[in-house]
Structures are given as structure tokens and as C-alpha cells.
Structure 1
Amino acid sequence: MTDGLAILLFAVFALLSGALLRFLLHGSRVPYSVALLLLGLLVGALAEQAWLPAWAQEFSQSVDYVAGIEPQLILFLFLPALIFESAFAMEVHLFRRMLPQIALLAVPGLIIATLLTALLVRLALPLEWSWPVALMFGALVSATDPVAVVSLLKEQSSRKRLETLIEGESLLNDGTAIVFFVLFYAMLLGGAVEAGVAQVGLEFLRVVCVGALVGLLVAAGVVLWVGKVFNDAVLETVVTIAAAYLGFIVAEHGFHSSGVVAVVTTAVLLAGVGRTRFSPEVMHYLHHFWEMLAYIFNTLIFLLVGIIIARLVALPPLHMWLSLLLLYLGVNVIRGTTIALLSPLLARLGIGLTRDKAIVLTWGGLRGAVALALALSVAQQGQIEASIREQVLFLTAGLVVLTIVINGASIGTLLQWLGLAQLPPAKQATVVKAEGLIHNEVADLLEALQRDPLLAHADWPSIERSLQRLRLSAEFQPRAPGPQEDLAVFYKRQLLESERQNYWNQFGLGLLDQGATARLVEAVEAALDGVPDLGPRPRLQGFWAEPPWLGRLARWGWLQRRRFRHLAAVYGTLRGYLQAQQALLGLATDLAPDPSMAAAARQQIEANLEQAQALLSELRHEHGRVVAQLESYTALRLLLNRQREAVQHLADEGVLEPAESRKLIERVEQQMFELARGRTDVLDRRA
């Protein structure tokens, strides 16, 4: 069998096995990643059996081939895509708020864990390892693996902040781990023995900073490119794929810095400041594509890890099994100790850290493909004593299996036991209110359907009973809502998050341009920081006030054009703000835990509306010509949107052939693109 056919056969088997497991595990509490790892171990063990029938021998050859995959290929093939998808899907505002906590865990936390693990290996395990070997091993196994952690959290967690903390740590601590791994690896091979703390610190800063700079440059290139494209889902998606791999390869091979930091930087920048540069119609497609790619790669990598461990790790003597057990217990204690030492700072930085979340943070420190790939690179180094190579590979592989199988399989139960599997009571109260709104809409539709003559013989009593049973799912059953202050905080936060989404929806419809969307979203996120506040918005108020010098000097050419652009931006933000506040008025009543909170919220929202309406009236009075132009642009954009929807509707109904509908949609989108590009030019000419 050729190498290419072996890879293809393994990929087909992996995807079919993953699909079957996903089907069988539906409704089960067994994590998908854990089941895949166990399947990989089983396949790897069975594939080398001599009693296999002849037809299975070719598949066994395929397993042999993938088991011998280069360690670097594991990192370079799977890691960029999985890291990019995870960082791209994170809520950037929350990630920024929690960055001090994440950095504390990813740098000092990993250093502490590395040193304690080296001490454990030297003093408690029956191994004759030198300090360089112990320190290299400590760095190798101390970093929580982003692949394993991210995969698990997507299945188990319902707490966005906790998920972001664990996920963010696993994404960033790889850079720290690689710096120390490379240093101690070089010491083991006879180089860099004299490196001191200062040199290590400088090398760490170089690795992280250069990686971040590479990611920044790649993100800038993507933003410039996609900014010149309009609604081309394939092109914009392909550019993000290239960006993920290009940043990783350039950082790792070109500058010997952290590829993971480069990819995380690129993804976070594209998800944050770069989000308005992508075509609004493409973002939904883009996230779905990356979610699908991450699922495929997770399926492949967990199965591959299981096969590699089963085929390459030799069964050791009894004392090594005891060492593995002690190591597993020890690294969990070390992680708990590290978090306990950092808890006073973790509790005060970012969004804080409670005792229950610290327990989950400790138990969620899984090891995975990254640690295994580094251990395989050690195992292939002929300059290291054979017994040490075998021990490092066995202990690392065993730790990967034990943390994923034991910690991964039980973390759902731990979340349930700590009460973290459900939403907080105060936030849950708003969810129950939302489910009530959904139920009311369904009840209205039920009444309309009961009057439909085509459904006259339906069993309506049975249908109504089914709806009542489905009204509230088990995880959203109402409980004691908690303290009144918590209710107020979650209620306001829910309204602010709805306001932020309203701005993104307006951007998707073309009602807001890139600058207005960014300013409005930034203002909401500033209001979300700390204790959420519905108003007023100091950042917006400062922007809406025209600088006095700009009005006085407006007769000078380029200042006149700048003034018109400022007026256009003010109009855009005012219009978007007014529309969002009007939408919030209804939600304020519908989502309020009690009437007094609804009244207070509505009062603040009405004050926001009154202020914005007064400013808009003043803008129309003083700059009617500019406002008329901007309103004409908005109306035309809405009409073009409706035209595109009408074409798509006729295509869905079969009235238009697919080829004809594509041509019509392309013509409409070309008009929309030219309208967006020409707006500034028109304002300049009017100026």
C-alpha cells in the first residue's frame, strides 16, 4: 500500500468512527474526546495482532504508517487550525478582561509547576534522572494542552468565564513551556549549560514578543486583503486558513518563536478589531466552517494520539507503572498547589476566582497531543540514553491517557457537584423569562393553527400537553434567584449584551459602517466592565461633541473633508444607538426579574433615547445637507438588501434557476459594494 493511500484509508476510518461515536454518545455523559482516545488505543493494540484476517492487513499497514508520523507534523498540521478556531470563537472583550489572570497562570504558574514537577521526579520517583532531564520533563508535562482542554470545554462547560480562563491559559502557556523545554533539552545534549535566569527571561520575552509580532503582521495583512473583498465567503475563509498556518510556520521556523502565540494573536485580532473588515454576510459562514474543521481535526488527532501510544509505547516493568501512578497523583497535587499559591492574585485580577472555579481549574489541567509530540521528539533523539527516552515517552503517554480519561471523563460530574454545570441562579432567572417569551410566541401560533381548516382534525389536546412538557428543560428549572444585587447585575448585563448584538445585526444589514459599529460595541463593552451600567455612555458623548477647533477651521480644504467625515460618523453612531435603545425598551420589560427593575431600566433607556434624539435633531438642523445624503445612502442600502432577499426567495421557491439567481445576486452585491466605496467620495465632493 502506498503512503498516500494509507493516509486516505486512515482519514476515512477516523471520520466514520467519529461519526459513529458521535451518534452512539448522543445523550451520554461520556465526552467525545475521551471515547476517541480509548478507541485509538484499542485500534492501535488490535492492528498489530497476528490473527487478523487478510482483508484487515492493509488497514494494519495504514495504522503502522500513521503511528510513525513525525512529531513536528502533529504540531504543524493540527495545532494551527485548532488554536485558531478556539481563539477566533472566544469573546474578545472577555478575553481582554481576563488576560491578567490568564498570563499569571500561563507564565509564573507554569514555571512553578515545572520546578515542582522536576522536584517530584528527582525526589519521589524511582528514576535515575539528572536535573536537566527532570527539568525538561517538568516543562514538557506542565503545560495544559490546548487541544485536549478546548475539546473538553466545548462539550462540558456552561460557564463562559470559567471556559475562557481555562481555555486562555491552555492557549498561552505553550509558549512558556516550549522556551523551558528547549532550554533544558539543550542542557541535556550538552549545550547552554551556563544559561542563567536573565538569559532565560530574555529568551522567553523574545519567543513571546516575536510570536505576537508575527501574529500582528499576519492579521494586518488579512484585514487589508478582506477589506477589499465584498461577500466572497470562499475567498475570505481561505485567507483565514492561510493566515493560521502562515503565522505558525513563520514564527516557529522563520524566527524560532512561539507559533501558538502568533496564531492566538492573529485570531484574537481578527475576531476583535478585524471583525468589521469581513463581509457581514460571511461571518456566520466563517464560524461554521471553522467549527466543522475543528471537529474533523479533533477527531483525527485524538484517534491518532491513542494509536501512537498503543503502537510506540512499550510495556515497562512494574516500577514504571508505580512511577506513572505517583506522577499522575503528583501533577494533580502540583497543579492544585500552583493555583492555591496564585489564588490571592487570581481573586483580585480580571473577574476574580472563587473556590469552586479554582477546583475545576485544577482538575481541568489535561495533557494531550502537544506533550506527546514533544516526548516523541525526545524519543527520537539518539544522543539521549535509550532507557531515559523510553521512560520519558511512557510517562508522558501515560499521563496524557490518565488525565484525559480520568479527569476528562469526570469533570462533568465535578461541575454538577459544584453547581457549575448550570447557569448562576440570577442569570438563570433571565433565561426562564426568555423561555416564557418563547412559550408565549408558540401559544400565539397554536391559536392560529387551531383555526386553520387544513389542520382541523389534529389532536390539539395531545399537542398542548406535549408543549407543556417541553416548556422548561431540566437544566433551566427555576430555582431561588439569589440576592437582589445579583439579579440586578445579571439583568443589566443581559440587556447590554443584547444591545451589543443589536449593533452587530445592524452591521450585518448594512445600517452601520465599520467605524460606527466598532465605536458602539466598544462603548457597550466599557459599560459591561465592572458593574454593568445602562447609561449614560461617556465615550459616545465625547465623540458626539464636535471639537471646537474643527468647526472654526473647517474652511481649510482637508479639514473641511475631515469635518464631513466626523459628521457622517456622528450620524451613524446616533442612528445605530437610537435603534438599539428602542429595541431595549421592549426587552427591559420582558426580561426583568421584577417590575421595579424594569421601571428603573426603562427610565435609563428613555433618558438615553431622549439625549440621542436631541443630538440628532440638532445635527439635522445644523447640517441638513450631510444628514440628507447619509439618510439617502441608508435607504438605498436597505432597498438593495431587500432586493437581494427577494432574489434569494424566488430561487428557493424554484422560480429562478440557480445560475440566474447567482448572476442577479452578484449584480446587487456589486451595487452594494460600489455604494459603500463611493460614500466617502460623495461626501468629499459635497464638502
Structure 2
Amino acid sequence: MSNGLAILLFTVFALLSGALLRFLLHGSRVPYSVALLLLGLALGAVAQQPWLPSWAGEFGQSIEHVAGIEPQLILFLFLPALIFESAFAMEVHLFRRMLPQIALLAVPGLIIATLLTALLVRLALPLDWGWPVALMFGALVSATDPVAVVSLLKEQSSRKRLETLIEGESLLNDGTAIVFFVLFYGMVLGSVTDSGVAEVGLEFLRVVCVGALVGLLVAAVVVLWVGKVFNDAVLETVVTIAAAYLGFIVAEHGFHSSGVVAVVTTAVLLAGVGRTRFSPEVMHYLRHFWEMLAYIFNTLIFLLVGIIIARLVALPSLGMWLSLLLLYIGVNLIRGTTIALLSPLLARLGIGLTRDKAIVLTWGGLRGAVALALALSVAQQSQIAAEIREQVLFLTAGLVVLTIVINGGTISALLQFLGLAQLPAAKRATVVKAEGLIHAEVADLLSFLRKDELLAHADWASIERSLEGLRLSPQFEASDPGPEEDLEIFYKRQLLESERQSYWNQFGLGLLDHGAAGRLVEAVEAALDGTPELGPRPKLLALWSDPPWLERLARWGWLHRTRFRHLAAVYGTLRGYLQAQQAMRALAADLAPDPAMADAAQRQIDANLQQARQCLAQLRRDHGAAVGQLESYTALRLLLNRQRDAVQHLADEGVLEPAESHKLIDRVEQRMFELARGRADALDRQP
């Protein structure tokens, strides 16, 4: 069987196996990634066995071909896409707030873990390794693998902040680990002489900074490109795929820096400042595409890791099994020690760190495909003694299996035991209020359906009983809501989150341009930092104030664009802010834990509305012609949105053929594109 056909057969089998496992594991507590790894181990163990039937021979050959995959191919094929999806899906505001904690774990934390692991290998394990080999191995296994950690957290975690901390660490500590791995690997081979602390530090800074710069440049190119595209989901998605792989390859091969840092930088920038540059209609499609691609790649890589370990790792003596057990225990203790040493700083930086979250952070230090790929590269190096190569590969593979199966398989139980599988009591109280709104809507629909003559003989009593027992999730059951201070914080945070989502919804409808959406989101995220406050918003107030230099710009014809861009920013943010505040006021009473909090929130929102309306009235008095042009643009965009929706509705109803509806939608969207492009030029023509 040819290599290409063998890989195709394995890919089809992997996807079908993943689909079957996903179906069988639905509702269970067994993590999908753990089940895939165990299946890969089983497949690798039984492939090519003499007792298999003859028809299984070709499948066994495909397993052998896959087991011989190049280590670099594992990193270059799977890692860029998986890291990009993970970083792109992160909440950028939360990541930015937690960056000091993430950096502390990813750099000093990994250095401590590397040194302690090397010390463990030298002093506690019966291995004849020198310090260069021990340090190389320490760097190899100390970094938590982003592929394994991210996959696990998305299945098990219900705490966004804890998930971001573990995920962010796993994404960034790879750069630190690779610097030290390459350094000590060179020492083992004799190509690198002993280096001082200063040289190592400078090399680390070079690798990280160059990787970040590559990611920045790639993100800038993508932003410039997609900014010239309107609602082309295929093109904008393909550009992000190319960006993920291009940044990784250029950083790794072109500059010998960290490809992971480059990809993380690109993804975070595109998810943050670049989000408003993508066509609003494309973002939903784009995120779903990356989620699907990550699922496919996770299925392939966990199955592949299991097969590689089963096929390539030789079973050693009893002494090596005992060494693996000691190493597993020691690595977990070292991670706990590292976090304990850093906990005084971790508790004061970012959003802080509690004891329970520190325990989860310790137990969530999984190793995976990255560590295995580096170990395979060591195993293929003939300049290293065969015994050492076999020991490195066995211990790394064993550590990967044990951390994923034991730590990954029990993380859900640990979260339950520590009470972290449920939402905090105060937030749970606000979710219960939201659930009440959902049931109220269902009750209204129930009253309407009772009058439907096509449902005249429905068993309404049974239906009502079914609805009475229906709850979104047991974690939302009412309980002690906690201190009133916590209730108020979570209540305000939920209102601010709804305000931020309102801005993104307006941007998606084309009612806010990228500049206004970015300013409004930045303002509400500033209000979310620390103790959340509903108002006022100092940055917005500074923007809305009419500076004396604004009118002087009108005397200079070539500065018209600057003047009207400022007016457009003021009008856009005012309009978006007013609409979001009105929506937030409607939610304030429904979500409030008690009437007093609702009254206080509504008073602040009313003050926000009054202030914004006064600024809008002043803007209309001072710049009536420009505001009229902006309002005309907004009205036309609303009408074009409705026209596009009407065409799509008729297509869904079968009134229009697909070809006809596509042509009509293309015409409407072309008009939208021309409108957006021509707005600045039209404003420039204003007197």
C-alpha cells in the first residue's frame, strides 16, 4: 500500500472512530481526548498481530505508516492550527488582564520546573545521565502541552478565568521550553559549548521577541487584506489558515524563533484589534470553522500519539517502569512546588489565585504531542547513545500517557470535589434570574400555542408538567447567593457583559464601524476591570467633548477628512452607546437579585442616557450637516439589512431559486460595500 493511501485510510478511520466515541461518550464523564489516546494505544498494540484476519492486513500497514511519521511533521501540521484556534477563541480582554500571571508561570515557572526535574533525574532515578541530558529532558517534559491542556479544558472546565490561566500558560511556556531544549540538546551533541546565564537569557529574549514580531507582521498583513474584503467568508477564512501556518513556518525556519509565540500573537491580535476588520457577517462562520478544524485535528493527534507510543516505545525492564512511576510522582510534586513558590506573586497579579484554583492548576499540567515530538527527535539522533535515546523516549511517552489518562481522566472529579465545577454562588443567583426570563418566554409561547387549531388535541397538562421539571442545568439550582457585595459585583458584571455584546451585535448589523465598535468595547472592558462600574465612562466623555480645534480644521480643506472622521467617531459611539444603554436598562430589573440593586442600576443607566443624549443634541446643533449625513447612512444601512433578510427569507420559503437569491444578495451586499467605502469621501465633500 502506498504512503498516501495508507494515510488516507487512517484519516477516514480516525474520523469515524472519533465520531463513534463522541456518540458513545455523550453524557459520560470520560474525557474525549483520554478515550482517543487509549484507543490509539490499543490500535498500535494489536496492529500487525499474526492472529488478525487477512482483511485487516492493509489497515495494519496504514498503522505502521502513520507510526513512522516525522516528529517535525507532527508539530508543523497540527500545532499551528490548534494553537491558533485556541488563542483566537480566548477572551482577549481577560487574557490581557491575566498576562502577568501567565508570563510568570510560562517563564520563571518553567525554568524552576526544568531545574528541579533535572535534579530529580540525576539524584532520584537510576539513570546514567550527565547534566546536559538531564537538563535537556527537564526542558522537554516541563512545559505543559497546549494541545492536551486546551482539549481537556474545553470539555471539563466551567470557569473562564481558570481556563484562560491554564490555557494561556500552556500556549506561552512552549517558547521557553524550546529555547532550553535546543540549548541543552546542542550541549548533548557537542555542537554548543557551555553557555552562561546572560547568553541563555539573550537567546530566550531573541526567540520570543522575534516570534512575537513575526506574528505582529502577519496579523498586520491579514488586517490590511481583510479590511478590503466585504462578506467573503471563504476568502477571509482561508487568509486566517494561511496566517497561522505562515507565521509558524517563517518564525521556526526563517528566524529560528518560536513559531508558537508567532501564532499566539497573530491569533490574539486578530481576535482583539483585528476583530472589527473582518466582515461582521463572517465572524460567526469563521469561529465555527476553526472549532470544527480543531475538533478534527484533536481527533487525529490524540489517536496518532497513542499509536506512536504503542508502536515505537519498547517495553523496558522493571527498573525503568519504577523510574517512570517515580518520575510521574516527582513531576506532579515539582509542578505543585513551582506553583507554591510563585503563589505569593500569582495571588497579587492579574485576577489573583485561590488555593483551590492552584490545586487545579497543578493537576492540569498535562504533557502531550509537543513533548512526544521532541522526544522522537532525540530518539532519531544517532550521535546520542542508544540506551539514552530509548530511555528518553520511554519516559516521555509514559509521562504523556499517565498525565493525560490519570490527571486528565480525574480532573472532572477534582473540579467537583473543590466546588469549581459549579458557578460561584453569586453568579449562580443571577443565572437563576436569567432562567426565569427564559421560562417566562416559554410560558407566553405556551399560551399562544393553546389557541392553535392545529394543536387542539395536544395533552397540555402533560406538556406543562414536562416544562415544570425542566432546568437548564443542575449547576444553576438556587442556593445561598453569598454575600451581598458579591451579588452586586456579579450583577453589574453581567449587565456590562450584555452591554459589550450589544456593541458586537450592532457591529454585526453594520450599524457601527470598526472604529466606533472598538472604542465602545474598550470603554466597557475598562469598566469591567477591577470592581465593575456601570458609569460614567471617562474615555467616551473625553471623545464626545467638542474640542476647540475641531472647527478650525474646517478652514483647511485638506483636513476635512480628519474633522469628519472625528465627527463620525463621536456620532457612532453616541448612537451605539445609547442603544446599548437602553437594552441594558430593560434587563436591569429582570436580572437584579433584589429591587434595591435594580433601582441603583437604573439610576446610573438613566444618568448615562441623559449625558449621552445631551452630547448628541449638542453635536446636532454644532454640526448639523455632518450628523444628517451620518444618520442618512445609518438609515440606509438598516434598510439594506432588511432587504437582504427579505431576500433570504423568500429563498428559504422556496419562492426564489438559489441562483436568483444569490444574485440579489450579491447586489445588496455590493451596495453595502460601496456605502461603507464611500461614506468618508461623502463626508469630505461636506462644507
Alignment map for 1:24-423 (pairs within 5 Å) = 24-423=24-423
Contact residue 10 and residue 63 of structure 2 kept, 8 A: yes
Q: Give me the whole-angstrom Cα distance separating, in 2, the residues matched to 1:48 and 1:211.
A: 43
> Are 1:535 and 2:540 matched, yes or no?
no
Distance in structure 2 (CA, Å) of the matches to 1:575 and 1:229: 25
Tell me the amino acid that sits aligned with residue 559 of structure 2: L
Cα shift readout 1:261-308 (whole Å, capped 9, x = no counterpart)? 000000000000000000000000000000000000000000000000
> Are residue 478 (structure 1) and residue 478 (structure 2) matched?
yes
Q: Partner of 2:631 in structure 1?
A: 631
Q: Is the Cα–Cα contact under 8 Å of residues 215 and 261 in structure 2 kept in the other structure? A: yes
CA distance in 2, matches of 1:99, 1:315: 42
Moved more, 212-221 or 557-566: 557-566
Tell me how far 1:259 sits from its aligned partner.
Answer: 0.2
Superposition CA RMSD, Å: 0.7
| Structure 2 segments unaligned to the other structure (5+ residues) | none
Taking the aligned partners of 2:187 and 2:402, their CA distance within structure 1 comes to: 29
Q: Which amino acid aligns with 2:57?
A: Q
Question: In 1, Cα distance between the equivalents of 2:643 and 2:109?
Answer: 56
Unaligned ranges ≥5, structure 1: none
Superposed displacement of residue 554, structure 1: 2.9
SS of structure 2 residue aligned to 1:414? helix
Look up the equivalent residue of 2:53 and give its one-letter code: P
The question of whether the paired residues in 2 share the 8 Å contact of 1:366 and 1:407 is answered with yes
Report deviation, 1:558: 2.7
Hey, what's the Cα distance between the residues in 2 that align with 1:43 and 1:580? 55
Equivalent position SS for 2:276: helix
How far apart are the structure 2 equivalents of 1:619 and 1:30?
59
Letter matched to residue 599 of structure 1: D
CA distance in structure 1 between the partners assigned to 2:547 and 2:48 by the alignment: 76
> How many Å separate the matches in 2 of 1:645 and 1:553?
41
Q: Is the partner of 1:275 in helix, strand or coil?
A: coil
Instruction: Please say if residues 100 and 349 of structure 2, whose CA atoms lie closer than 8 Å, have aligned partners that are also in contact.
Output: yes
Distance in 2 between the 1:34 and 1:234 partners? 33
**Structure 1, 449-458 or 595-604: larger mean CA deviation:** 449-458
Match of residue 447 from structure 1: 447
Amino acid at match of 1:105: L
By how many angstroms is 1:150 displaced?
0.1
After superposition, residues 421-440 of structure 1 pair within 5 angstroms as: 421-440=421-440
8 Å Cα contact 1:550-1:559 kept in structure 2: no
- Counterpart in 1 of 2:506? 506
User: Partners of 2:361 and 2:140 in 1: how far apart?
Assistant: 19
Deviation at 1:473, TM superposition (A): 2.6
Residue identity matched to 1:113: A
CA displacement 1:510-529 (0-9 Å, x = unmatched): 11111000000000000001
Partner of 2:488: 488
Aligned partner of residue 280 in structure 1, secondary structure = coil
Distance in 2 separating the partners of 1:73 and 1:571:
51
The question of whether the paired residues in 2 share the 8 Å contact of 1:189 and 1:384 is answered with: yes
Give the Cα–Cα distance (whole angstroms) in 2 for the partners of residues 221 and 618 of structure 1.
Answer: 39
How far 1:562 sits from its partner (Å)? 1.5
| Counterparts of 1:182 and 1:97, CA distance in 2 | 31
User: For the residues of structure 1 that align with 2:529 and 2:447, how far apart are their CA atoms?
Assistant: 43
Q: CA separation in 1, counterparts of 2:7 and 2:48?
A: 17
Task: Name 1:598's counterpart in structure 2.
Answer: 598
CA distance in 1, matches of 2:121, 2:154: 33
Pairing of 1:552-631 with structure 2 (within 5 A): 552-631=552-631
SS of 2:586's equivalent? helix
Q: CA deviation at 1:145?
A: 0.1
> Alpha-carbon deviations, 1:640-674, whole Å to 9, x = none?
00000000000000000001100100000000000
Q: Is the 8 A contact 2:553 2:563 kept in 1?
A: no
Deviations 1:143-182 (A, max 9, x none): 0000000000000000000000000000000000000000
The one-letter code of the counterpart of 1:629 is: Q
Query: Aligned pair 1:23/2:26, yes or no?
Result: no
Kindly provide the CA deviation profile for residues 203-240 of structure 1, in whole angstroms up to 9, marking residues without a partner as x.
00000000000000000000010000000000000000
Task: Give how far 1:567 is off.
Answer: 1.0
Cα distance in 1 for partners of 2:560, 2:663 equals 40
**Cα contact 2:210–2:257 (8 A) shared by 1:** yes
TM-score w.r.t. structure 1 length? 0.99
- Give the secondary-structure state (helix, strand or coil) at the position aligned to 1:295: helix
- Report if aligned partners of 1:439, 1:471 keep a CA contact under 8 Å in 2: no
Pair 1:653-2:653 in alignment: yes
Code of the residue aligned with 1:303 in structure 2: it is L
| Shift, 1:559, TM fit | 2.9
Shift of 1:563: 1.5
SS of the aligned residue for 2:282 comes to helix
Shift of 1:472: 4.8
> 1:475 offset after TM fit, Å?
1.7
Structure 1 Cα separation of the partners of residues 156 and 166 of structure 2: 12
SS of 2:511's partner is: coil
Give the distance between the partners of 1:253 and 1:194, measured in 2 at CA. 24
Secondary structure of residue in 2 paired with 1:352: coil
Partners of 1:546 and 1:519 in 2: CA distance: 17
Q: State the Cα distance separating 1:569 from its structure 2 match.
A: 1.0
Q: CA deviation at 1:553?
A: 4.2
Q: CA deviation at 1:622?
A: 1.4
Letter in 1 for 2:136: M
CA distance in 1, matches of 2:513, 2:616: 18
Contact 2:48 2:57 in 1 (8 A): no
Which shifted more, 467-476 or 573-582? 467-476
Deviation at 1:85, TM superposition (A): 0.2
Q: Distance in 2 between matches of 1:390 and 1:402?
A: 18
Does structure 1 conserve the Cα–Cα contact (< 8 Å) formed by 2:183 and 2:192?
yes
Deviates more, 1:537-546 or 1:232-241: 537-546
Q: Summarize the Cα distance change of 1:553–1:678 in structure 2 as closer, same or farther, 3 Å threshold.
A: closer
Instruction: Give me the identity figure in percent.
Output: 85
Say if 2:561 and 2:680, in contact at 8 Å, map to a contact too: no
SS in 1 for 2:281: helix
